[in-house]
Amino acid sequence: MNSSVIVVHYHELWLKGRNRRFFLAKLEAALRQSLEGIPVERIEQPGDRFLIRLADGASLEEAIERVRRVLGIANYAVARPVERNLEALCDAAWQEIEPLEFSTFAVRAKRSDKSFPQGTIEIETVVGRHLLEKLRARGRKVRVWLKDPELTCHIEVTPGPLLVYARKIPGAGGLPANTAGRMMCLLSGGYDSAVAAYLMMKRGAHLGFVHFYGTGARPGESSLHVASSLVRQLVPYQFLAHLYRVPFETIQREILRSAPEGVRVLLYRRMMLRIAEVFARRDRALAMVNGDSLGQVASQTLRNLVAVEAAATMPVFRPLVGMDKMEILALARKIGTYEISSEPFHDCCPVFLPRSPELSARPEDLAQAEQGLDIQALVAQGIQGATLERFRYSGGQVELSEPVPVVKTQPRAAMA
C-alpha cells in the first residue's frame, strides 16, 4: 500500500463547455501512453485531477520524468500514502511540510470516499491545528491563512490509503497533445524552428516535419542527422511524427542560375513552402509552421515574410514572430533542443548567400523573379527525391523507421 501516487492537476481553462470530456480523455490517454512500460496500478480521476497509482517496483523518478513532458498538465505532486486514521495523517502532514519554507499556510482536504468517518472540515481543522502547534513549538513564525496561503497542505481521501502532499511542481502546461488538428513544420536544424514546433504542439497541434538538405556535407555534418535528432527530441510530446527529408541542392542551383542574386534566399523559402505544402496535404495538415521571427535576419523583414508567404496557399503560422533570440534560446534549452541545434551541420541555405539581400520584396517581384523557373517541375522533383522517416514514442523510447521514398511508383502520384 505504500507505492507512490502522483497527483496531476490540469488547467481549468480548456474545460469550459462541451469539450471537457474530449480533452480529459486525450490527457488520460497521453498519461497512459507516456507511462507505458512503468508498472502502474491504475489511473483514477476522482474529480478535477488524476491520481496515478504506481505499482510495486515502479521507479518514481522515471515516472516523474515521463509525466513532466505530458502537455496539458498545470502542475503535479508526489503524494505520501498514509494509513486511514487522523493520527497517521497528522504525522504524515508534518513530515511533508516540515522541511518547507513558508509564513502562511492552509490545509485543504478533498473527499471522494464518502465512507471515511470524518468530513473535510474536521480533517482540515484537526490537521491544521496539529501543524500549527508543531510549527510554533519549533519557534517558526507562521499563521493559518485560508484565503491566499503561501503553502497548501493537500489531503486526498480516496478509497485505499489517504494521500498527503504540499509540493506542487509546475507541469508542461498547454493543452493535451493532438487535440487541435495537424500542422506541417519546416524544420531547419537551427534553434528556431524546433522551438516553433514545440509551441504549436503545446497548443495541442500534431506536427509533421519537412527538412530540406544540401549535399556535400562532410561526414558527421549532415543536417539530416540534426533534423532527425530534433524530431526524436520532440516526438515524446505527441507520440508519433513524420519527417519528410527533401534534397534541395539541385533546386537551389536552378534558382541560382535563373534568378537575381538579391532574392535568392526568398525564392528558396518559397520553394520550400510549396513543397512542404504538398506533404502537408498528404498528411491532412491544415496549416504550416516555421521559425521566422520578425526582423531576425534579412529574409525575415515584414515585407519579405509577406512576399514569401504569397507562394503558399495554406496559412503559415509563426509562433516566434514576436520573440527575441534570447527568449527563443531559453525555450530551446528548456525543451532540450538547444544542444542538438548547436551541433555543427551543413546548412543548405547559407550556401550561395547573396552579398546584398533584398530587404523589401513584393510578392509580384518574386513571382517575376521566378519567371525563368519551371516551378511545377521543381516541386515535383523535390517530392520525387524525398524520403520519409517515421518516429514513434513508446515505453519511454523513441523508435525510428528506416527512411523510405515518399513516391514509390509514378512521380505524379504524390501530386494528385
- In the complex, the residues that contact ligand ATP under the rule CB under 6 A are 186-188, 190-193, 210-212, 272, 290-292, 296-297, 299, 348-349
**How many Å apart are CA 97 and CA 164, to the nearest integer?**
10
**How many Å apart are CA 304 and CA 174, to the nearest integer?**
31
Could you tell me the smallest distance in angstroms from the CB atom of residue 325 to ligand ATP? 8
* Residue 124 or 192 with smaller CB distance to ligand ATP: 192
Could you tell me the smallest distance in angstroms from the CB atom of residue 316 to ligand ATP? 9
Work out what residue 186 binds among Mg ion, ligand ATP, none; the CB cut-off runs from 5 to 8 Å by kind.
ligand ATP
Work out what residue 272 binds among ligand ATP, Mg ion, none; the CB cut-off runs from 5 to 8 Å by kind.
ligand ATP
Q: In this structure, are strands 387-394 and 316-317 parallel, antiparallel, or unpaired?
A: unpaired
Using Cβ positions, the residue closest to Mg ion within the complex turns out to be 190
Measured over the CA atoms of residue 107, residue 111, residue 113 and residue 119, the dihedral's sign is positive
Could you tell me the smallest distance in angstroms from the CB atom of residue 272 to Mg ion? 11
Q: Where are the beta strands (DSSP E) in 248-329?
A: 287-289, 316-317
* Residue 34 or 290 with smaller CB distance to Mg ion: 290
Could you tell me the smallest distance in angstroms from the CB atom of residue 217 to Mg ion? 15
Residues 6+ apart with CB under 8 A from 125: none
Query: Which residue matches cell numbers 531576425?
Result: 296
Q: What is the CA radius of gyration of the chain?
A: 27
* Residue 187 or 379 with smaller CB distance to ligand ATP: 187
Q: Please check whether residue 309 is in contact with residue 316, taking contact to mean a CB–CB distance below 8 angstroms.
A: yes
Work out what residue 58 binds among Mg ion, ligand ATP, none; the CB cut-off runs from 5 to 8 Å by kind.
none
Could you tell me the smallest distance in angstroms from the CB atom of residue 350 to ligand ATP? 8
Could you tell me the smallest distance in angstroms from the CB atom of residue 99 to Mg ion? 46
Any bridge partners for residue 394, and if so which? Answer: 397
From the list 196, 103, 87, the residue with the least C-alpha distance to 149 is 103
* Residue 73 or 224 with smaller CB distance to ligand ATP: 224
Q: Kindly report the length of the chain.
A: 416
Work out what residue 348 binds among ligand ATP, Mg ion, none; the CB cut-off runs from 5 to 8 Å by kind.
ligand ATP
* Residue 97 or 265 with smaller CB distance to Mg ion: 265
- Phi, psi torsion values for 104, nearest 5 degrees: -130, 150
Query: Which residue matches cell numbers 496549416?
Result: 287
Query: Which residue matches cell numbers 480529459?
Result: 24
From the list 40, 43, 42, the residue with the least C-alpha distance to 27 is 43
Work out what residue 10 binds among ligand ATP, Mg ion, none; the CB cut-off runs from 5 to 8 Å by kind.
none
**How many Å apart are CA 107 and CA 93, to the nearest integer?**
9
* Residue 244 or 268 with smaller CB distance to Mg ion: 268
- What does the binding site for Mg ion look like in residue numbers (CB under 5 A)? 188, 190
SS3 283: coil
* Residue 297 or 377 with smaller CB distance to ligand ATP: 297
Work out what residue 255 binds among Mg ion, ligand ATP, none; the CB cut-off runs from 5 to 8 Å by kind.
none
Could you tell me the smallest distance in angstroms from the CB atom of residue 189 to ligand ATP? 6
